[in-house]
């Protein structure tokens, strides 16, 4: 089971089926294709800064191997570690890019695969009603009971301690 986030345009109202036309669902966790082909994955998902980071990481690894006179095994291990780090953060990069483009994360669902996540997320979105408008002005504090005003209460208990 994996966690998926539903991203919809800002201002979309719950229950609005038209908002689902622009919906994007992103899996939380490692992006396996970003581990195997990081540059291609970032470009495919239109993550230009991520592609630049992947390219920069590979150049830095190669340069570090030459500057610090690392063995081929150490350079390869360093490259693998950078690739794993990018793959672990790839979907987080994608979520942030969607938020910058105006697609806010509005829901999270747990599902076995992407299709099941779409079904669950869309069903939850369509079954919701529009939220009630927020109250305007100052919010009045609830009145305290008479016995609470008489004796101070310390801690989380509703009554003062009474001994028999």
Q: What is the pLDDT of residue 53?
A: 86
| Burial of residue 14, with CB atoms counted within 10 A of its CB: 0-12 exposed, 13-18 middle, 19 or more buried | middle
Alpha-carbon gap, residue 153 to 133, rounded angstroms:
35
Q: What is the pLDDT of residue 137?
A: 56
Tens of pLDDT, residues 27-69:
999 999 999 999 999 999 999 988 998 899 899 999 999 999 9
The dihedral built from the CA positions of residue 59, 64, 67 and 73, taken in this order, carries a sign that is negative
Q: Residues near 147 by Cβ (< 8 Å), separated by ≥ 6?
A: 159
Q: What is the pLDDT of residue 31?
A: 94
The domain spans of the chain are 2-128
CB-CB contact of 7 with 27 (8 Å): no
* pLDDT < 50 regions, the chain: 130-132, 134
Q: Which whole-number Å values give the CA distances from 125 to 40, 88, 134, in the listed order?
A: 32, 28, 20
The pTM of the whole model exceeds 0.75: no
Placement of tokens 């790839």 in the chain: 90
CB-CB contact of 63 with 82 (8 Å): no
């Amino acid at each position: 089971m994996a966690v998926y986030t539903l991203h919809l345009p800002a201002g979309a109202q719950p229950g609005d089926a038209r908002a689902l036309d622009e919906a994007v669902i992103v899996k939380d966790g490692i992006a396996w294709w970003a581990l195997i082909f990081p540059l291609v994955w970032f470009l495919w998902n239109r993550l230009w800064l991520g592609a630049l980071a992947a390219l920069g990481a590979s150049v830095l690894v190669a340069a570090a191997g030459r500057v610090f006179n690392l063995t081929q095994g150490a350079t390869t291990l360093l490259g693998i570690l950078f690739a794993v780090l990018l793959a672990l953060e790839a979907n987080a990069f994608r979520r942030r890019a969607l938020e910058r483009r105006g697609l806010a994360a509005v829901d999270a669902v747990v599902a076995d695969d992407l299709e099941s996540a779409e079904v669950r997320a869309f069903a939850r979105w369509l079954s919701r009603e529009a939220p009630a408008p927020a109250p305007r002005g100052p919010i009045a504090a609830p009145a305290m009971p008479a016995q609470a005003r008489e004796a101070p209460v310390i801690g989380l208990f509703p009554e003062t301690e009474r001994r028999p």
